[in-house]
Amino acid sequence: MEIAIIAHDGKKAEMVQFLNEHKSILHQKNITLISTGTTGEKVKKAGFQVLKMLSGPLGGDAQIAARVAEGKCNMVIFFRDPLEKHPHEPDVLMLMRLCDLHEVPLATNASSAALFMKAI
């Protein structure tokens, strides 16, 4: 199973904390993590193996969206910061649209992502 993890700058620490809290599930189920570049760097420093795409503003969100459309990515966990403006918002909306179109589960906060982890 491939899970994409993405976090806006103000949510990267929360993403690392979330992954640490669910480390046993991620290892038991043999899950492959993919991420946008900067999130991937933080997650890698925390000891997780992750396949890094480009940084979100440089096309990483679009790369993950393509994997969703190709049927390679099975779930997306995207900790969005709703209080900040993001220059790559069109890519974010495209990713969310493709998750809906291809019925790929999309969690945008820790509470919904925790429910997904329990369902795995």
Backbone angles phi, psi at 2, to 5 degrees: -110, 125
Q: 71: which 2 tokens?
A: 């049927």
Please identify which of the residues 9, 61, 81, 100 carries the catalytic annotation. Answer: 61
Query: Is 69 exposed, middle or buried, given 0-12, 13-18 or 19+ CB atoms closer than 10 A?
Result: middle
| Calpha distance 12→31 (Å, rounded) | 20
| Calpha distance 119→34 (Å, rounded) | 19
For this structure, is 9 an active site residue? no
Which residues are the active-site residues?
61
